[in-house]
Amino acid sequence: MKRVVITGLGAITPIGNNVKDFWEGLIHGRNGVAEITHFDHSKYKTHFAAEVKDYDPLNYFDRKDVRKHDLYSQFDIVAAMEAVESSHLTPVNTNFDEVGVVITAGIGGVTHFYNEVMEHAQGDGVPRMSPYYIPKMILNIPAGVISIKYGFRGPNFATVSACASSSHAIAAAYDLIRYDKAVAVVAGGAEAGICEAGIGGFNAMHALSLRNDDPATASRPFDKNRDGFVMGEGGGCVVLEDLEHALKRGADIYAEIVGVGMSGDAYHITAPHPEGYGASLSMERALKDAGVDKTEIDHINTHGTSTPQGDLAEVVAIKRVFGDHARNISLNSTKSMTGHLLGGTGAVEAIATIMALHEGIVPPTINHFEDDPNIDPELDFTFNQARKRDLRYAISNAFGFGGQNTSLLFKKFTF
């Protein structure tokens, strides 16, 4: 099978609106959480989130195109544009008939959907829907838009698995290339669910942190006093490419993807398996797919949402898979800084993992104040301070509602 490398990166996040700023924010422990500005949150249980800062769509789109795209779709497109630009793919060095796009979201145009429904409900009952109502809502449109923008005519679709959506997109892209169905694929995802329906819905599930008195420290993965996740927004995209093709055109290579693991918990629609069984299978399958021994893993960017059940289940899974070697792995949760980007989280955290390999730095898990007595104290979560480390193999985990799990295994690129 073909070897697959990463030749382009793009991100728009609560701590940086491009990959350079995002990475700088990660290694310096920048916090992206603050009071919600997108809507009046006064009647909601949670008053804070991790919003993208200083975003002006007119820096990326003309006014007509802004009207066509929900915010999640804009984030998808912006991240993809940066990834394609950084990859230096052109019609001169690449046959665009062989370039695919797998870009997605977990929820999609929920903000636009909510606004349209509320406007209709408060009106005279006559439906006056925008002609962009459906295209702004459905999840596959960003993949189509990127295809149209660049003329990419390879496989084109979206994957949907809640918070694992964009990890599944990268996994699908990996298979397309290694099985010789594309020479390159733009893959990733985004989310923009910080709206009345998003915050209200997750509040109803008791999933969000209620730390309104101190929102900056609300996302505290693996801490004893974690009380739920913090909603984030933004997205990320990567360009995956056949190694031979990348070398032939002289592309910059950030890392190699060498294995993918996927599983289902078969347990509960929202709660993780308490023994982390599905998460264990996902990581084990990534190791098997890559032909890598568990003792070779140096770093895991955990799903680490800051929920009491989720964090503990992932720790149980890591210890089951890696045994004593788990204590030699640099673990972290970048959600402590970005919040949880839902369908965009897998791609954004894959980028964090790729950059950790590329730069030899493990970003921190910030907001750690007190050890959880239920978590092995000898595990290394890179609490509160980034750490330099020579990394060879790293895993990025993403787990979605419905018990849908992905583990992406990356390698520092060597010939």
- Residues designated catalytic: 163, 303, 340
In the chain, the largest separation of any two C-alpha atoms, in whole Å, equals: 66
- Determine the Cα–Cα distance for residues 71 and 79; give it in Å rounded to an integer: 12
Round to whole Å and give the CA distance between 203 and 221.
19
Alpha-carbon distance values, 66 to 61, 63, 108 (Å): 6, 5, 16
The dihedrals phi and psi of 309, each to the nearest 5 degrees, come to -75, -45
For residue 263, count other CB atoms closer than 10 A to its CB: 22
- The Cα 105–Cα 274 span in angstroms is 26
* Integer-rounded Cα radius of gyration of the chain: 20
Q: Which whole-number Å values give the CA distances from 278 to 161, 198, 265, 393, 402, in the listed order?
A: 14, 26, 4, 21, 11
CA-based torsion, 24, 222, 312, 227: positive or negative: negative
